[in-house]
Structure 1
Amino acid sequence: MVTMISLIGEQPLPNFLAILHYQPNQVLCLYSKITKGHFDRLQSTVQNHQHLSVSIRGIDVDPYNMVNIIDNLKRELYQQKLVSQDLIFNLTGGTKIMSLAAYQVAQEWKAPMLYLQSEQKQATIMLYQWKDNEPQQIDQQEIYSEHLTLKDILDLHLGTGAWYQNTKKRSDAGARFEQTLADLLRADGYEILQNVRSSDGQEEIDIVVRFQNRYGAIEAKCKRSTPHNIEAIKQLVTSTKQLGSYVQRFYILTVPLPKEQRELVERLKIRTIILESYKDGQLATEDRQKFLSDIAQVLR
């Protein structure tokens, strides 16, 4: 029986990807009062996932007190009578002090360690074993789980049951534009959710899109004239604030932005795509190719 030790920080996705990849029998999470909510959402997502049969629980630690972290972790390992072959330490999340403490316990137990690098388009796991009391990298591989879904991503960041898709039918020009974009993305192999709303009404996202481990949010505006306010940009930033640091933001319009708004979206690292040929659900071939190419540059 394998137990994975996970350190809970502000970004839940790396922990979840490691669980999906290794499929341990149980996961022991170290969290702090600040990251308790992230642990709760991770626990709920894991427990409700149809492709996982994992027992997951956590212990509250002081994230900046190495002695406290080590004592709590070792006490748990002793109580569970776990030995090195039963353990794997995921050092990816948490504070630096939490990582150092987990490293020290892994060294004492001679247990394997992993680190998940997910800054690039592909997530890469590096696996380490101990030799002569020194860590030796024994494997490095890109990982992608076919069982990761947009539901998982939204559950991890917003909470299970804390969001929904608004299925109310709309027939306005904006709805037709959103549907055109969603249809193009689905046909090109992306997973799509449309009209995502948080239960508290704080988040409203026109389209959420995923390719493998990468995901993004799209704000789509069908305009006949240049927009003179920044409400749509504010909406995109506000609605994606809780979706973690890995979310990619796209602003799709049918008219060019004025100079001051172009400068604003650049500062906010929002990818803007202008599709001036759009009319009544149709795009010129050149604009269809530009749209899919620009999305792919970020998500593929």
Structure 2
Amino acid sequence: MHIVSLVGEQAAPSLVVLRTLSPKGFTLVCTDLSKRIAGNIRDLVRAEERHLLEVPPYRLGEITRLLREHASSIGDEIAFDLTGGTKTMALAAYAVAQSMGAKIYYLKFQGEKVIFEYTWEGDVLKEREISLGSSSFTLSDYLGAYLGPGNFDIHGIPEEPDSPGKRFEKEVYEALAESLDEVGASIRISGALELDLAFRKGISVGVAEVKTGRKACEKRPLEQLNAACAREHLGTYTKKVLIIDRVWDASKENLIDLARAWKIKVIELPSFGVRNHLSPEDKRKLQEEVTKFLEGGKS
């Protein structure tokens, strides 16, 4: 099977569909704005045939013509993934799929994650659900799809932390490593942005800043998270978490409001601030709240 996948500014949907269905070949349909993301995905996913097809984002007739011509040149059974791209691209791809009697796929990414497969029976579409495995991609795959394979580094946690902040980060890292599929530490993005942690559970990915003392009460960690998850970096599907060793009281109302506006989950673990060590209760709270947030809970 050859899948024609529409690519928008978010890399995760196309990456998940291609990794889950493992087609013999694929074409990534992109615009000038999403061409970088499409190129990253092409470099990450293995297949016998890998094509890029650039189309204008909103010219329905032109997109339809280009898709029809490209689909006709593919020798294998063809299917269309309509998850990404613009609505105009989806309309064009749907029309071509209908004219060819081709299967259609759509990934529901928010909340419960599932791929819908639609098969034509006459003029009627029959639907079935395809469940997702927990290993559609790795943390490095996800970062590479958004940033490009050579544009980030994961340095890891030092064996013997030399400060309270580093000890807190290590304890948080070890607690999350017990409950999630993958955790990476000290991630540098394009040599400019740096994040304390990145983690994955299934196909959901988040990043975190882990702060103690005065730094836990500053605006900068929130700004760092928001910048890292902008469209031009890790994209809006990436969850943002701030983990601190104290409780924000009413005097931090401006930070609370900013975190809420930027959809950043704040997790308060005051036991470390008191005893320089996470209590069992705070460790469990950390694991449960991060897992729930990754699975679709609100910030």
Question: TM-score scaled to structure 2, two decimals?
Answer: 0.90
Match of 2:116 among 100, 105, 126: 126
For residues 156 and 107 of structure 2, what CA distance do their matches in structure 1 show?
37
Aligned to 2:61: 67
Q: Aligned-pair distance for 1:168?
A: 8.5
Residue 288 of structure 2 corresponds to which residue in structure 1?
A: 293
- The residue number in structure 2 matching 1:193 is 184
CA separation in 1, counterparts of 2:276 and 2:82? Answer: 48
1:175-201 CA-partner distances (Å, limit 9, x unpaired): 111111000111224310000001331
Residue type of the alignment partner of 1:289: R
Greater displacement, 110-119 / 145-154: 145-154
For 1:72 and 1:114, the matched residues in 2 are separated by 20
In the other structure, the counterpart of 2:244 is 253
In the other structure, the counterpart of 1:165 is 154
Partner residue in 1 for 2:225 = 236
Q: 1:161 to 1:132 in 2, by over 3 A?
A: same
The one-character-per-residue Cα deviations of 1:63-83 (angstroms, maximum 9, x if unpaired) are: 21111111112222233345x
1:94 aligns with 2:85: yes
- After superposition, the Cα gap between the structure-2 partners of 1:168 and 1:274, relative to the gap in structure 1 and judged at 3 Å, is closer
Q: CA deviation at 1:225?
A: 8.6
- Report if aligned partners of 1:7, 1:98 keep a CA contact under 8 Å in 2: yes
CA contact (8 A) 2:3 2:78 kept: yes
**Aligned equivalent of 1:275:** 269
Return the match for 2:167 from 176, 183, 186: 176
Preserved contact between residue 30 and residue 60 of structure 1 (Cα < 8 Å): yes
**1:226 offset after TM fit, Å?**
6.7
2:47 pairs with 1:56: no
Contact 2:115–2:129 under 8 Å retained in 1 = yes
Give the Cα separation in 1 of the matches to 2:106 and 2:261. Answer: 31
Deviations 1:9-55 (A, max 9, x none): 11111111111111101101211111111111111121xxxxx4442
Greater mean deviation of Cα atoms: 238-247 or 207-216:
238-247
Any gaps of 5 or more consecutive residues in structure 2? none
8 Å CA contact retained: 2:136, 2:202: no
What are the superposed Cα offsets for residues 126-147 of structure 1, whole Å, 9 maximum, x if unpaired? 111112223222x113312424
Q: Is the 8 A contact 1:9 1:35 kept in 2?
A: yes
Match of 1:31? 30
2:258 pairs with 1:264: yes
The alpha-carbon distance between structure 1 residues 168 and 37, as it changes in their structure 2 partners (threshold 3 A), is: same
- 247 and 255 in structure 1: CA distance in 2 versus 1, 3 angstrom threshold: same
Unaligned stretches of 5+ residues in structure 1: 47-51
The alignment covers a number of residue pairs equal to: 287
In structure 2, the CA distance between the partners of 1:186 and 1:168, relative to structure 1 (3 Å rule), is closer
User: What is the rounded CA distance, in whole Å, between the counterparts of 2:16 and 2:32 in structure 1?
Assistant: 23
> How far apart are 1:260 and its partner, in Å?
1.8
Tell me the equivalent position of 2:126.
136
Sequence identity, in percent?
26
User: Please, what TM-score do these two structures have when normalized by structure 1?
Assistant: 0.90
| Superposition deviation, residue 167 in structure 1 | 5.1
CA distance in 2 between counterparts of 1:213 and 1:177 reads 27
Q: Please say if residues 6 and 82 of structure 2, whose CA atoms lie closer than 8 Å, have aligned partners that are also in contact.
A: yes
Between the aligned partners of 1:106 and 1:225, the Cα distance in structure 2 is 53
The runs of 4+ residues in structure 1 deviating greater than 4 Å are: 167-170
The amino acid of 1:293's aligned partner reads: E
Who is 1:11 aligned against? 10
8 Å contact kept, 1:88–1:113: yes
